[in-house]
């Protein structure tokens, strides 16, 4: 039986897709076979039994229909049965009733419409394969660094195209404050989420994800990439400030020094990428007290009380160090809490020494909660710590009105007068 060649343009199209999308030969053959079978089944009958033999190298295809030989005049389904006389006249003079008969189908005989249907079916299956391949590829890349060229910008997101023209979406919520990109610019981000709803892959990338900071350090610091330095924890407030705890597996390597680089050469590139986000690099410690002190940027912590069960830390400092530990807008203590996993509160050193002192929380029936929180934010946890703080400091540092401060002092002083 002579083999019939598939239309060259169709084979070329499939071969080009295979080469560009890295589809293996077995999958290529399977898709084309399924396409032939699907089209022929629709044209002939759902009952038809076909064998499709494809040579993926040159495009030759042979389509065989499997039939059962029945007595003359008893053919009930011409798509599954053939009469004995027809079997004899179709090249098998020794055929007998009940045997299987193989008949070749010439696809070109079905006409131009059949070829068009085949191409459409093939293109549809190829598109589905392409989508599945894209989803699988980027699902494995979640948390990894990718780059893309800005193709289009909208108010709520930016469309990027990578080197393979895959679409990456960078939402406004995943962009750093100050990010502004023009069409054609290259943008780096990490793959944050990949979903495949209705077989339509959607790849969302992020520049605010903590993994973005990790990947930038891996890119800029060879010792991290090589596994000599390990990033143990990362905390970020995107566009504002970040903290990263690192640990060296080689005593000869200074982990912090390696991450910062000579005169900040390594970290400067990361800071620029993050729109001047300040980055604190600290040495990791398995001792939570040491780690918390380092995370707060303190050289010394006079006293600290930890609750492992509640993951809370009470840090007692000299009054001059409290503002440093809290940081501008409370960023430093917030990031330290995120980095260490402890809820950190900073208090004035020695607030527990006077047993006659009273916690501010005990005045919640007379002083509003937000006022108590404002006082705590500057290290005043007890009544006497507030009384002993200069009035002007209570106004300026706790951001309270003069009348409010005077009322608070009156309430607290009255308690001790009684």
Q: Where are the domains of the chain?
A: 4-136, 141-208, 360-417
Backbone angles phi, psi at 193, to 5 degrees: -155, 140
Superfamily of domain 141-208: Nucleic acid-binding proteins (2.40.50.140)
Q: Using CA atoms, how far apart are residues 385 and 350, in angstroms rounded to an integer?
A: 10
pLDDT in tens, 246-262: 999 988 999 999 999 99
What's the pTM? 0.68
Fill in the DSSP letter of residue 325.
Answer: H
- Cβ-contact 23, 134 below 8 angstroms: no
- Cβ-contact 260, 275 below 8 angstroms: no
Residue 4 burial (CB count, 10 A): 15
Q: Using CA atoms, how far apart are residues 152 and 161, in angstroms rounded to an integer?
A: 9
322 pLDDT more than 60: yes
Percent above pLDDT 90 for the chain = 44
What value does the mean pLDDT take over residues 337-359? Answer: 76
- What CATH topology corresponds to 360-417? DNA polymerase; domain 1 (1.10.150)
Reported confidence tier of residue 21, pLDDT bands at 50, 70, 90: low
Q: Using CA atoms, how far apart are residues 206 and 48, in angstroms rounded to an integer?
A: 51
The average confidence (pLDDT) of the chain is 86
Task: Please give the class, per CATH, of domain 4-136.
Answer: alpha beta
99-108, 155-164, 240-249: range with lowest mean pLDDT = 99-108
151-155 contact pairs (CB < 8 A, 24+):
151/183, 152/183, 153/181, 153/183
119 pLDDT more than 60: yes
C-alpha to C-alpha distances, 173 to 157, 158, 236, 293, nearest whole angstrom: 8, 11, 15, 32
Task: Spell out the residues 6+ positions from residue 180 whose beta carbon is closer than 8 angstroms to its own.
Answer: none
3 pLDDT more than 50: no
Q: Highest mean pLDDT range out of 69-73, 242-246, 410-414? A: 242-246
Q: Which residue has the higher pLDDT, 19 or 256?
A: 256
278 pLDDT more than 70: yes
Identify the pLDDT of residue 351. 52
Q: What share of the chain is helix, strand, coil (3-state, %, to 5)?
A: 45, 25, 30
Identify the pLDDT of residue 57. 67
């Amino acid at each position: 039986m002579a083999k019939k060649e598939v239309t060259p343009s169709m084979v070329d199209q499939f071969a080009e897709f295979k080469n560009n999308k890295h589809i293996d030969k077995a999958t290529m053959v399977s898709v084309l076979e399924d396409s032939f079978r699907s089209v022929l089944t629709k044209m002939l009958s759902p009952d038809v039994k076909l064998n499709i033999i494809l040579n993926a190298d040159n495009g030759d295809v042979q389509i065989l229909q499997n039939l059962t030989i029945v007595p003359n005049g008893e053919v009930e389904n011409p798509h599954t049965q053939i009469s004995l006389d027809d079997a004899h006249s179709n090249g098998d003079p020794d055929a007998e009733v009940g045997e299987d008969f193989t008949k070749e189908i010439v696809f070109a005989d079905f006409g131009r419409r059949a070829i068009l249907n085949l191409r459409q079916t093939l293109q549809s299956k190829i598109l589905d394969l392409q989508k599945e391949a894209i989803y699988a590829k980027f699902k494995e890349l979640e948390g990894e660094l990718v780059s893309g060229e800005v193709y289009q910008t909208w108010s709520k997101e930016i469309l990027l195209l990578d080197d393979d023209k895959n679409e990456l979406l960078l939402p406004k919520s995943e962009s750093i404050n100050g990010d502004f990109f023009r069409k054609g610019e290259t943008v780096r981000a990490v793959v944050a989420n990949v979903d495949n709803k209705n077989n339509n892959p959607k790849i969302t990338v992020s520049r605010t994800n903590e993994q973005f900071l990790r990947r930038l350090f891996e890119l800029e610091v060879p010792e991290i990439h090589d596994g000599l330095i390990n990033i143990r924890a990362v905390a970020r407030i995107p566009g504002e400030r970040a903290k990263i705890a690192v640990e060296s597996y080689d005593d000869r390597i200074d982990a912090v020094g390696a991450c910062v680089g000579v005169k900040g050469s390594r970290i400067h590139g990361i800071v620029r990428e993050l729109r001047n986000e300040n980055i604190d690099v600290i040495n990791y410690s398995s001792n939570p007290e040491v780690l918390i002190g380092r995370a707060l940027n303190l050289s010394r912590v006079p006293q600290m009380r930890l609750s492992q069960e509640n993951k809370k830390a009470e840090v007692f400092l000299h009054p001059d160090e409290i503002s440093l530990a809290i940081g501008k807008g409370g960023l430093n203590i917030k990031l330290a809490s995120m980095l260490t996993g402890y809820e950190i509160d900073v208090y004035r050193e020695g607030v527990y020494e006077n047993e006659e002192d009273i916690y501010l929380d005990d005045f919640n029936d007379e002083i509003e909660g937000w006022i108590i929180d404002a006082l705590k934010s500057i290290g005043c946890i007890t009544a006497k710590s507030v009384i002993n703080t200069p009035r002007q400091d209570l106004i300026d540092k706790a951001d309270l009105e003069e009348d409010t401060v005077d009322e608070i002092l009156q309430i607290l002083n009255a308690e001790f007068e009684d």
